[in-house]
Structure 1
Amino acid sequence: MWPRFLSRLRETFSLDSDVAQGEQLMALVQTHAVRTPTLQPAELQRLRQAVDAFPPRPIADFLLSVCIDHGTDAFFYFNQAQFLAEVDEFYTNPTSRLRRDCSFVCLAHAAFALGSQWTTLAKPDGSRSNLNTDDSDPGRIFYNQARSLIPDVIDFPGLRSVQAPFVLGVYLLPASAIGSSYIYLGLALRKALAMDLHLNTDELNLSEEEKEIRRRVWWSIYSLERSSTVKLNRPRSINTSIITVSLPKPCPPLDNIQRFNNIEHQIADARLMMILDKVAEPLEWSATQSLPIQLESDLKAWKRSLPASLKLQNMLPQSPCYRATFHLYSNYYFSWIAMGKVSVVTVVKARLRHHFRRESQPPQLGEHIGVLANSCIKAAKKMLLLFEDLRRTAGILERDANYERQVAFGLDCLSKMAEGNVAAKMGVSFVEALQSIADEAVDKLSETETFSNSPRSRMPLSTSDYNSWLNWLSQQNTSSNKTTQVPSQSNPVDTLLPTPTAGPWPTAQLTTAGLTTWDGVAALQQLSVPPMETTNLDQGNQPPSYGSQNIYPDFTAPLYNDDQTFLMGLTGFDVLGFTDGQDGGF
């Protein structure tokens, strides 16, 4: 920052730039930037333990391959070619400086942890071995090592000190630790802000590829942090007005060496999150009619601008990019839902009040309220169809014991619910007919020699790689793994977090193929939202309006203020009970 600041200061005073002074300061900055802090004995001990905990080289290669191929999604964690080369140096050179770099060791363990979550997706065809579903998350082995280094990484300079907590935050999202993920993503965002990754840089010592890497890391962190913040109903972390760095853009010298090149997903995700950022702040646009109309236009333009390679209907479910593309679409529909949820509640409440004769006149709502409500409902239906297509595709192309259990459980519930009702029994027969057709399709697919569930040609994994991972995992201390599922209280990050607990419904009945006795009330209670305190919607401030037209009845004003928890319960993560002090599943 010094050279750029002093240069602009000289320009302000109409002075010529001092090239020599700038070069001198640049050299000073570089000297301090590469200086590694001296490790204290306790820090050195943590580092040595983490280094010794690295898995054997074949296991590391397997986990990093899975992390890149299956866990990257629409984000940019690191320059894949460079990071793999550094891992190779770590294993082949006992005197490598990387063995004394806690930020690299922490990032490597984070990548191992993230990769371990998706190893079942890398199981080769014909392999009958699988992870024991009763085991704890295998990624905890590596997460505990990475977590122990976070206090040291915070003080480290360099981009890896941003990337390490970011990858840990990604790992924790589906690991029943949403609260922990929120903390780590916030830490990564703060470190990125401290390094000015959110600003355009004219640093002469950075190549164009390095500048692009900084851009991609920033937008990946911002996009995921903003998305999770919105869905957790947490305050906005930063205002987008301070961001001056441009969006990611294709960079062939960098893209061509990435094992998993998802630059188009990165660009699309960043653009969508910029729109969601505005959608998620209704207090900023509820008083004007022009902005919501503009947001609607922006969302539609985003959808139309997607290249053919990101059209979900053009993509095979087995494609390496399918998961990332699926998440783009789900976030797109979520943006519509987030923008129109207040309108839906407004319309429903107004009509119910009139229906129950609490209001003598039919509700007079603004035209745009109806438009937003309809758009929200339409997006919700699209979201359901999206997941329905995913489940249907998975049921035909990929089946496992869990799938069979879910189908058997669902049909058993439907059958018992349909007792005594002819129309309902016909519906169950229709579902059974669909299942029969799907079973027939599976049988025919299995008879086709050319059919393959894994068309990945980039880096095929052998059965021995997967089985080696399982064998190594089974040799680890099982009792130690189970005792470390609760985050250690010695870590400053995890002491801020509640202890993860079970979900809000019993698991005993859900793990059986069917219920021996059907109890409709009990089943509904298993799937219900935890109770919330009621709020008097008839009190509050004057309603927002579009221009001079009052489009919201008085009773809807609190929906924008005190009752956001209720609204987020309809669309956010807190429907799973996060607001009750527990980390839910993702």
Structure 2
Amino acid sequence: MEAYQSSASNHTARPSRRRASLACDTCRRQKEKCEGGPPCWRCQRLGRPCTVRGNVLSRRYSARADSQESTSRVEGLERIVRHFLGNVSLDEENVGRIVARLEGRSQGDEPNVDEPFDVQFVSKDIAHYSGEFSHWNFSQKLRRKIGQIERFRVKEYWRPTQLQSSIHLVSQAMNHLPPRPITEFLIGMFFKYAAVNVFYMERSWIQERVERCYAASTEYTLSDIPWVCSLFAVLAVGTQVAHMEEGQEDNEDLNLCSEDSVGLSLYHIACRLVPDVLLVASHESVQAFLLLALYALPLSTGGLSYSYLGIAVKMAIQNGMHRKYVGECDPRIIETRNRVFWTACTLDKRISIFHGRPASIAKSDISTDLPSDALSFSSPNYSNMMAYIKLSSWLGEVSETLTLLRNCPKRFIPEYLDRLIQLRTHIGQWWDSLPLTIECRDTTPDSPLFRQNSHLKMTYLLIYVYMGRPFMFASDWTDSPVENADSDPRTLLVQGCVKSALDILDTLQSLSTNTGLCRASYTEFSSCRAALLVILAERLNSRKLNRFQDELSRGMAMIRRMTGGSSSESEISYLQSLDAAIRQSSLAVNETGSDEHRLQDETSAYAQFKHWTNAMKQDTYPGGITDLELSSFSPLSFLNSEPRLGEGNEVQDLLNTWPSEGFVMDPNVFSPLQTG
């Protein structure tokens, strides 16, 4: 008896479970354990009537029970809890213990979730990013736990300096800078025509570096290599757009120009510094790779330029530029880092989407601040820059929705189509909210930002083209005719796509008339090509030869001027072949069936085929069209197998004006490249 009392006293702290002397009818029907009452607790908790021997007992929580969703909601929550926690008891006592445990955990001494990583500045331009759950992050956490380690000297290893090249490489490169007036001119061309709506660097920043380059007693260190590479890349890009200073295009020959050869030489000098730019890995290194990507953008968009952008993003991650910085670093340096990162991220996203490549960084991994409207930064225009970043974000959302639509079960297709329509509406409303004077939407020729705003408008219109293009061919997305085609989301998207394509051509025509088209502008060329492809697809769908004929002719004329030179026919032959095939397809559909008309159609098709083969034979590329990357547009249209009269003398005279000590310049670099 004493043992029993002792055992009972040891369990007095644990309340005994209440047992019902008589189970209610409701619990008995549900085959559940009644927990007593009246009414019983289980019936109260589930909000159901509690009956004993046919009599409904009053409930203390009748207001809760009256809600239509209480029963199903509580039962659903119980299923969720048991799914994640197992078959646990959900009585009031156990639920109270679980809640108390969770509250105690949230109020404990756990590390702050906002500090899982560290961005530590090694120098003014170089930072070290620890990374979440990394070896480095754990070692630093261990170091902080053992405070006495501060008494010992720890060797810090930030960059593999033992791999660096001789610093004389920089001096040798500097020996081949153009004369000072030429350098100033090319830098001016870069900021006037190439740095449109995106930030690469401040003009004052590069001007300070130019002053150092032409100073007599300048000494260089390893940390100078990234900005030296950037300088040569800026000059190379400047040669690509220098032709814009000649005014509007005329019918002059745009074949080999001396600036193309010089630009290629400057690019090669910058490339020789790339290994050490990678080694330094500063935010100036990110700038250097952005500029190399900009130079390669018109030459190999989805290849070399995409690779450069990927390196730029990865190097930005190495410096922790994708994370929000909380510290006491110079605000101007932090703003520069933010702007450079968003340029790299935005360009990488656009090229990845338009060329079917994976992006280099996920949106969820980015926490850094957007660029701020700092008065100390003069270029580019802040509103335009932020609009460009936002448009790229909208493009990413459209791309994600199209990917989900492509992979979803058929029953979810209407839901994702509605989401595209909602995105289309939101993008249009956002665009309409932008400034209409001077900035963003002001595309009047007299506007000081006419060119920048025109590029921004084409960037906006390309989203609608990209959104509606997958639905242009009905056989790709429906197995049966649509009952109400006018209100079908796919029809609305296609109509918006075609309208945007026509608006793009109008915008390009305005640029061509007022400032001229740039041979090295990816925005202008890619917009024109995308618009032409949509128009060709619409002509194919309509089977009408005269549909959009004027717009097609204008677009083909403009894209010829942007490719320029002897490679024009090769660059646009793909579009021409599509147009010819569509014409033949339309003729075949509209033929009357008579033998005479059929013979004329066959003769016409053969004549066009012969014309096309003759054009291929006359192509300056030895390998023909198959040797070309159809997705590229090359301002280096001089790369052919036949030298031109007077070309060598002009380039040799230019070389003679440059010093050539130490860093030997091969004159053959300016010669047309031989294939085979």
Unmatched runs of 5 consecutive residues or more in structure 1: 10-14, 355-361, 401-422, 436-500, 510-516, 529-576
* Match runs of 1:535-574 below 5 Å: none
Report if aligned partners of 1:229, 1:236 keep a CA contact under 8 Å in 2. yes
Question: Conserved in 2, the CA contact under 8 Å of 1:172 and 1:178?
Answer: no
1:505 to 551, 573, 577: 573
Q: How does 1:434-583 map to 2 (within 5 A)?
A: 503=571, 505=573, 520-521=608-609
Q: Which amino acid aligns with 1:505?
A: S
Q: Which runs of 5+ in 2 are unaligned?
A: 1-117, 122-128, 134-140, 519-544, 558-568, 578-603, 617-624, 635-676
Which whole-Å deviations, capped at 9, do the CAs of 1:515-551 have from their partners, x for residues lacking one?
A: xx995446778999xxxxxxxxxxxxxxxxxxxxxxx
Change (3 A) 1:396 1:203: closer
Name the CA distance, whole Å, in 2 between partners of 1:506 and 1:296: 31
| Residue identity opposite 1:339 in structure 2 | M
Indicate conservation of the 8 Å contact 2:346/2:392, yes or no. yes
Measure the CA separation in 1 of the matches of 2:572 and 2:507.
27
- Map 1:250-261 → 2, pairs under 5 A: 250-252=373-375, 254-255=376-377, 258=378, 260-261=379-380
In the other structure, the counterpart of 2:348 is 225
Tell me whether 1:244 sits opposite 2:362 in the alignment.
Answer: no
Residue 212 of structure 1, CA deviation: 1.5
Distance 2:452 2:218 in 1: 38
Name the larger-Rg structure.
Answer: 2
CA contact (8 A) 2:167 2:222 kept: no
Q: 1:176 to 1:505 in 2, by over 3 A?
A: farther
Match of 2:281 in 1: 157
Q: CA deviation at 1:179?
A: 1.5
Task: Say whether residues 1:322 and 2:441 are aligned partners.
Answer: no
1:201, distance to aligned residue in structure 2 (A): 0.4
1:272-311 deviation line (CA, Å, top 9, x unaligned): 1111112112233564446434422331233123222466
1:193 aligns with 2:317: yes
The 2-side partners of 1:36 and 1:234 are apart by 31
CA contact (8 A) 2:222 2:280 kept: no
Aligned to 1:103: 226
How big is the shift at 1:165?
0.6
Higher RCO, Cα 8 Å, sep 6+ = 1
- In the alignment, is residue 299 of structure 1 matched against residue 427 of structure 2? yes
In the other structure, the counterpart of 2:7 is: none
1:222–1:180 distance in 2 versus 1, CA, 3 Å: same
CA distance in 1, matches of 2:517, 2:284: 39
- 2:333 matched to 1:213? no
Q: Partner letter of residue 200 of structure 1?
A: K
- 492, 499, 504: which one pairs with 1:386? 504
Q: Quote the Cα distance in structure 2 between the aligned partners of 1:396 and 1:71.
A: 17
How big is each residue's C-alpha offset from its partner over 1:327-347, in whole Å with a ceiling of 9 and x where there is no partner? Answer: 2222222212222333333x3
Determine helix, strand or coil for the equivalent of 2:272: helix
Q: 2:398 matched to 1:274? A: no
Aligned to 1:241, the other structure's residue is in SS state: helix
Cα RMSD over matched residues? 4.8
| AA in 1 matched with 2:512 | A
Contact 1:337–1:377, Cα closer than 8 Å, also in 2:
no
Shift of 1:246: 2.3
AA matched with 1:295: L
Q: Give me the whole-angstrom Cα distance separating, in 1, the residues matched to 2:383 and 2:325.
A: 23
Following TM superposition, by how much is the alpha carbon of 1:119 offset from its aligned partner in structure 2, in angstroms? 1.0
How many residue pairs were aligned? 406
Q: TM-score, normalised by structure 2?
A: 0.51
CA contact 1:230–1:280 (8 Å) conserved in 2: yes
Deviation at 1:195, TM superposition (A): 1.1
**Judging changes above 3 Å, is the alpha-carbon distance between structure 1 residues 199 and 279 closer, same or farther for their aligned structure 2 residues?**
same
Cα distance change, pair 105–396 in 1 and its aligned pair in 2 (3 A): closer
Give the AA of the match of 2:315.
K
CA distance in 2, matches of 1:393, 1:583: 23
Moved more, 329-338 or 371-380: 371-380
Write out per-residue CA displacement over residues 110-169 of structure 1, whole angstroms, 9 at most, x where no aligned residue: 1111111111223489xxx99864554531121101111111111103211100010110
SS at 1:78 equivalent:
coil
Following the alignment from structure 1 to structure 2, what is the Cα–Cα distance between the partners of residues 121 and 316? 19
Out of 313-322 and 53-62, give the one that drifted further.
313-322
